[in-house]
Amino acid sequence: MYRKFLFRVLWFCVLSSCLGFAEDVTSQSEKGFRLKTNKKIDWFTGKFSHENTQLVYLSPLNRPDGIGHLEAPENIQKGYCKGRFLPWGYGSGIEDVNLYTGQLLVALRGAYIKTKDPDLARYLKYYFQGIRNSASVSKVKGFVSRGPHPDGKSYYTDPSRDQVSSHIYGLWAYFRSGVATDEEKRFIKNRIEDVFERLEGDNWVVLREDGVTKAHAGESWLTEETHAATTLLPALAMAYDITGNMKWLDSYKKFSPVMWPHLNPAEKFKFRGHPLYIYQQLYKLIVFQELVEKIEPDKMDVVVNCRLAWATSMTNLDWPWGKTKWDPEDMKALGWEASPENAFEACDLIKPEYFDGEYRRKNGVAGGPYRLVMSTSRFSAVNLLAGCLSGDAGLTQKSEGYMQDLFGKINPETFENSTIPLVEILYRLQKISGQ
C-alpha cells in the first residue's frame, strides 16, 4: 500500500536550488510547508521502507533489483555479511532499522501533536508497526534485533546500545502520540517490561540474543560518563511513564545520584560519540525534557543545558576526528585547502556541481574525491540537524540557515543512502513541531 506513495509523488521536487529551498522554508505558508513535508515522507517511505516490515532501511528498496542488493536472508540467519562472520551486520542494509525508525517516530509525534495532521497519524501508525515487527521476530523475550530483512524473518543477533534505546523511545513516542489504540498500548507496555527486565537481568549491558556474549556495541548503561547517562536516565523515565511500574522509577532514583553530574555541563558533562550517528542522543534528551518535568522538575535546567551542550559539541566536531585527515590529493582535486573544523565549514565546502555527472567527469571528481564529497555532505547534514535540535534559539537559527544552504546545493532524493533524505525529513518535522 505504502509503495504506491512513490508513484503519486514521482518527480516531486526532483531538482532543488539554494533559492528554491530557502523560499520553501521562509516564504511558503505553514500549510504549504506541511503538505510538501508529507509528500517527502510519502516519497521516502516508497523508497526506503518495505510494506512487509514497515521499517526504515539504509538503501533503496525500489531499485531494478528490488531488495536483491541487501544481504541475503540465508547469510543473515548465519550471522554473515559481505562474505565474513559479522553478527552485527554492518553493510547489510538492515543494521540500523531501529535506530532510524525510532528517530522518525519521535519527530512524527512532535509534529502530529502540534498539527493533528491525519497524514502524520498515518505515518505514525505505519512506522510503529515497523518497530512492532522488529520486536516480534525473535523468540527471546525482551531481545531487540538488528532487522529484520524485508522477508520479515531474518535478522542479526548482535544489537547495540543505540539500537535498543531507539527501540525504546520509538515505542514511547507512539504510546504518547494520541494515535495508539488500547491494544497497541497494551503491546507497548508488555514489550517495554520485557526489554527492561532483560536489560536489568544483564546488568544494563546489551548482550547478543544468546544472553551471554556482549554485543559489539553493547556498552554498559551504568558507565559513569555522559553517553551512558544520556541513555539510562531517559530510558528509565520512559519505562516508568509507559508502564506505571514503580520498579523503574525506583531504578531511576537509584542511579540518579551518580548519573546526573554527567548530564550537567557545569559538572561532569563530556561529549563522546561517533560524529555521524550520535546526534540521535538529542531525541532522548527531547523526550527526557518532557518527562523530567513530571518526575524531577528541579532538574529541568540540567536537561535543557545538556541538550544544548550536546548539540554544540556536535556542530563543533571536525571530520574526520583525531589525527586522521583526508588524502591531500583528494582534497586537491576538489580545490579544498583544509579539512573543515566544524559542521558549518563542512557545509561551505560542498558545491552543487559536485553532484553533476558531467562536471565530475571533466574535473576528475571520482573515486576518493567523490567519496570525500559524500561523507562531508553526510557529516554536515547530521550535525547541522543536531544544531536544529538544540532547543536554543541562536544555535537553531544558525544551523537552520546552513541546513537550508546545504539542501539548496544537494538534492536528497538523488542519494542512494537513506541518511540525508531522512535528515531532511527530520529537520522539516522539527520545524513543524518547534521542538
What's the whole-model pTM score? Answer: 0.92
d(CA 105, CA 3): 19
Question: What is the block-wise mean pLDDT of the chain (435 residues), using blocks of 10 residues?
Answer: 37 35 54 94 97 96 88 97 96 96 98 97 98 97 97 97 97 98 98 98 98 96 97 98 98 98 98 88 97 96 98 91 77 90 95 93 90 93 97 97 96 92 97 90
List Cβ neighbours of 107 (8 Å cut-off, separation of 6 or more). Answer: 283, 425, 426, 429, 430, 433
Give residue limits of the domains in the chain.
1-48+318-435
Quote the DSSP letter at residue 267: T
- 91-140 pLDDT, tens per residue? 999 999 999 999 999 999 999 999 999 999 999 999 999 999 999 999 99
Secondary structure (3-state) at 208: coil
Give 291's strand partners: none
Residue-wise pLDDT for 134-161, tens only, equals 999 999 999 999 999 999 999 999 999 9
Closest CA to 21 of 305, 380, 427: 427
Q: What CA–CA distance (Å, rounded) separates 236 from 67?
A: 37
| DSSP secondary structure letter of residue 142 | T
